[in-house]
Amino acid sequence: MKILLISPECENTFWNLSKLLRVLGKRSAYPPLGLLTVAAMLPAEWDKKVIDMNCQALKDEHIKWADYILMSSIIGQKQSTIKLVNMFHKAGKTVIAGGSLFTTGWEEFSNIDTIVLGESEDIIPVLVKDMENKTLKKLYTMEEFPSISKAPIPAWNLTNLSYYNSMCVQLSRGCPFNCEFCDVVQLNGRTPRLKSIGQIIAELDYIYTLGWRGGLFFVDDNFIGNKSVIKKEFLPAIIKWQKDKKYPFILSTQLSINLSDDLELMELMSEAGFSTVFIGIETPDPDGLEECGKLQNKNRNMLESVKKMQNMGFEVNAGFILGFDSDKDTVFQDQIDFIQKSGIIAAMVGLLNVSPKSRLHDRLKKTGRLIDNNNITGKNTSELFELNFIPKMNPGTLINGYGNVLKTIYSPKFYFARIKTFLREYKPRKVAPPKIRFYHFRGLFSSLWFFGIKEKGRHYYWSLIFWSIFKRPGLLPYAIGLPLGLLHFKSLAWANQYNTYYRES
C-alpha cells in the first residue's frame, strides 16, 4: 500500500513565521507532529511519503504514486486544504482527512471521501482494515478519549529535520480550565491525559539520535495541567536526561499563568531547560476575564505574574483577544499599555473568533449572533478583519481599533522599547554557551542589516543595542536576536492597512 501524507500550506498567521525563518535558513517553525504520529501508526510494511507543503513542493508524481492520500489540517490551513482536495479528486484519488479543522467543522467538507473525527489511536486499526478491504466509511469517530500511552514515537525518519526551527513533543492532552472561547476541552477533554515517562524519554532519545540540537516545543494544551505529576515525575526525569546529554535541547511550551504562583515548579522547569512559555492573557480587563471564563487570570496582578516568570528566566509570549461583549472603547489603549509594560515581545493579538465546538458558539447561537462566513480561516490571520459573530461593540470601532493595536505594538518604536523592558526583568539561567551554528551568523548579520541599516526606525534599534552594551552586556545576543521577530510581526500589522475601516452594509 502506497500512502501519501500531506500537511497543507499554512496561511499567514502569527504562528507562520516563514518570513523570519527564511532569514535564518529554515523553512517552517515546526514539523507536522500529528501527521508524523499517524504515519507511525500505519503498518510498517506500507510505503509512506510525507509532504509538508510549507517546506516542499507537491509534485504530480507524488499524487500519481499514491494509493491513498491522508491529510491532517488545522484551521489555519483551511484554504490550502480546499484547493488540495479538489486537485486530488480530479486526479481520481481517495482522500482521508483528519485534524482539528475537520473535528470542529467537518460538515463543510462533504466532498471529502473519509473524515476522521477526534484522536486517532483507537480509530487507526479499524481504518487500516477498511483501507485494505476497500470498505472505507464516510466518518470515523472516537467513542471516548483514548489513552495516549498508545501513541507511538512519530515517524521522524519521513521528514527532513533541517527544514524546521524546532522539533515537537507531546507529553499530555487536555486542559483543566474551560475558557468560553476555547475548544480544547471539547476536543481533548478537561482531565489531562499524560504519556508515561518512558515514552517521553524514548522520544527525546530518538530525536537526539537523529542529530537534532536546538529548540524542542512541548505542544501540550497546558503543560502544567497536572502540576503535581509534572513536578514530581516528569520534570525530574527531563532534568536528568538533559544533564546526561549536556542540554542539547532548548525547551518551550504553552501553559497557564498560574505557573507564576509556584516557585518550585518554575525552578524545575528552568533547570529542565525551558526558556520560553506561551500563556493566554486575553485581556487586562477583569470584566472580560469574567465573561470568557478565564478565571485563572482573575484576582491577580497579571503584570506581576509575567515579571515573576521573566525573573525566573522565561521569555513570556502571550495571546490577546479583542471583541468581548464587555470591551469598552478604552480596551484598545489598555491592551497596548499592558503589552508595553509587560515586556511581552511576541504579543499575539487577535479578533475574537467563534469556534464551532466552544461554549461561546452555543451561547451566541441561542441569541442569533452567529455569522456564517466560510471565508474565516482562523484566529490571528492577516486577513481576519472579518467577524463570524455580531459584536456588542460597533464593528467599525472594533476593527479599526484592532488594526491600530497591531500597527502600534509592531512599530519599531514600541517593539524595541518592549525588548528593553523585557531585558530589564529577564534573568536567564546560567548555562554553557551553545555551539555556534551557521544560522547564528545569519541572524547576527540579518539583524544588523535589516534594523541597523535598511529599515526605518534605525535609531530605536541602535538605542537598544547600545543600552544593552552598557546596561546588560550579558544579554547583548538577545538584544540582537529578538528584533528579528519584527520581520514577521510587522508584515501582519501593515498588510492590514487597506482594511483600517469598516464598510457598513
For 281-311, write each residue's pLDDT tens digit: 999 999 999 999 999 999 999 999 999 999 9
Contact 116, 127 (CB under 8 A): yes
How far is the C-alpha of 223 from the C-alpha of 220, rounded, in Å?
Answer: 5
Least-confidence region, from 69-78, 81-90, 190-199, 375-384? 375-384
pLDDT reading at 380 higher than 80: no
Least-confidence region, from 84-88, 108-112, 439-443? 439-443
What is the mean pLDDT of the segment spanning 3-31? 86
Q: By C-alpha distance, which of 241, 195, 202, 237 is closest to 219?
A: 195
Distances 280 to 92, 327, 348, 448, 458 between C-alpha atoms, Å: 43, 17, 9, 32, 31
How far is the C-alpha of 129 from the C-alpha of 134, rounded, in Å?
Answer: 8
What is the mean pLDDT of the segment spanning 489-498? 65
Interhelix angle 412-425/458-471, rounded to 10 degrees, is 10
Least-confidence region, from 179-183, 379-383, 459-463, 478-482? 379-383
- pLDDT at position 12, please? 73
How many CA atoms does the CB half-sphere of 110 hold within 13 Å? 2
pLDDT reading at 379 higher than 50: no
Which 3 state secondary structure label does DSSP give 94? strand
- pLDDT at position 502, please? 39
Contact 19, 488 (CB under 8 A): yes
Provide CB contacts within 8 A for 260, sequence distance 6+.
266, 304, 305, 306, 308, 309
DSSP class of 450: I
- pLDDT at position 433, please? 64
pLDDT reading at 199 higher than 90: yes
pLDDT reading at 151 higher than 60: yes
pLDDT reading at 120 higher than 90: yes
Q: By C-alpha distance, which of 316, 311, 393 is closest to 351?
A: 393
Q: Place 383 in a pLDDT band, splitting at 50, 70 and 90.
A: very low
Identity of the amino acid at 433 = P
Provide CB contacts within 8 A for 57, sequence distance 6+.
none
Q: By C-alpha distance, which of 54, 344, 31 is closest to 207?
A: 31
- Alpha-helical (H) ranges within 92-225 are 100-103, 124-133, 184-188, 197-209
Q: Across the chain, what does the average pLDDT equal?
A: 92
CATH number of 2-141: 3.40.50.280
Burial 435-459 (b: 16+ CB within 10 A, else e): eeeebeebbeebbeebbeeebebee
How far is the C-alpha of 395 from the C-alpha of 392, rounded, in Å?
Answer: 8
Least-confidence region, from 112-121, 144-153, 401-410, 441-450? 441-450
How much of the chain exceeds pLDDT 70, in percent? Answer: 93
Angle at 375 between CA 374 and CA 379, to 5 degrees: 105
Contact 6, 48 (CB under 8 A): no
pLDDT reading at 37 higher than 50: yes
- pLDDT at position 500, please? 41
- pLDDT at position 11, please? 83
- pLDDT at position 82, please? 95
Q: Hey, what CATH topology would domain 148-424 get?
A: pyruvate-formate lyase- activating enzyme (3.80.30)
C-alpha dihedral over 37, 40, 41, 46, to 10 degrees? 140
Instruction: Quote the cell numbers at residue 190.
Output: 478537561
* Strand order from edge to edge, sheet including 94-98: 47-52, 2-7, 68-72, 94-98, 114-117, 139-141
Contact 28, 22 (CB under 8 A): no
- pLDDT at position 184, please? 93
- pLDDT at position 31, please? 96
What is the mean pLDDT of the segment spanning 249-258? 97
- pLDDT at position 377, please? 44
Beta carbons within 10 angstroms of residue 262's beta carbon: 14
User: What is the domain partition of the chain in residue ranges?
Assistant: 2-141, 148-424
What is the mean pLDDT of the segment spanning 189-208? 97
Q: By C-alpha distance, which of 99, 72, 347, 315 is closest to 215?
A: 315
pLDDT reading at 106 higher than 80: yes
Provide CB contacts within 8 A for 163, sequence distance 6+.
26, 27, 28, 31, 52, 55, 56
CA torsion through residues 91, 27, 29, 497, sign: negative
DSSP per-residue string spanning 217-268: EE--S-TTTTHHHIIIIIHHHHHHHHHHTT--EEEEEE--GGGGG-HHHHHH
Identity of the amino acid at 314 = F
pLDDT reading at 26 higher than 50: yes
- pLDDT at position 494, please? 61
Cell 508515561 found at: 196
How much of the chain exceeds pLDDT 90, in percent? Answer: 83
Q: Place 501 in a pLDDT band, splitting at 50, 70 and 90.
A: very low
Per-residue pLDDT reduced to its tens digit, 420-463: 999 999 999 877 666 777 667 888 889 998 999 998 889 999 99
Distances 106 to 64, 97, 118, 278 between C-alpha atoms, Å: 26, 10, 11, 29
pLDDT reading at 504 higher than 70: no
